[in-house]
Amino acid sequence: MNGADILARWESAKGSALKRALFSKALGIAVPYSGTIRPKILELEPGRCKVAMDDRRRVRNHLRSIHAIALVNLGEVSSGLALLTGLPPDARGIVKGLSIEYRKKARGRLIATCEANPPTDNAERDITVIAHIMDAEGDEVATVSVNWRVGPVPTQGGTRKEAPGRKES
């Protein structure tokens, strides 16, 4: 499923609380590890996304705060949706690296907000997308930087669709 497919499904779901919940559940099924945090998509458009994660025992650490990796997962989900929904159909993105800066213990419902500048072609490049994770008081608890490798979608035979004017080396 490409970003345009995800966006089309969101557009048909966003007007109904039940459909938004089903959309978020389907995302968790399609991307199983991301589903472990039960992300709730609040807003989605090409280059922009807002995702919530509720505080629950399964995402907590021994310090009774939300686990560091759950925060990374939330940041990666929001960055991916923001970037991938803006890519052209012949491009894809793959996570190349992640980093996170923790600002305070994360407790309660968290919201990750992300803005990306998706390219308009499928030329290979690295793009860093930053997600800001806020708590219910509006304090930033973490910033997640996700380094994405964007490039052509592989074809059936294993070769890639190259951007016009680019040659494989």
Looking at this protein, which amino acid is placed at residue 45? Answer: E
pLDDT at residue 160, as a whole number: 54
Asked if residue 110 belongs to a domain, the reply is yes
Q: Are the C-beta atoms of residues 74 and 42 closer than 8 Å to each other? A: no
Tokens 């039940």 appear where? 18
Asked if residue 160 belongs to a domain, the reply is no
- Alpha helices, DSSP H, located in 14-157: 17-30, 32-35, 68-84
Range of the domain at 130: 3-152
3-state helix, strand, coil in the chain (%, to 5): 30, 35, 35
Asked if residue 165 belongs to a domain, the reply is no
* Residues 116-162 pLDDT 10s: 999 999 999 999 999 999 999 999 999 999 999 999 998 876 555 55
- The structural domain count of the chain equals 1
* Residues 51-70 pLDDT 10s: 999 999 999 899 999 999 99
Asked if residue 102 belongs to a domain, the reply is yes
Asked if residue 28 belongs to a domain, the reply is yes
Q: What is the domain-level CATH number for residue 16? A: 3.10.129.10
User: pTM, whole model, 2 decimals?
Assistant: 0.87
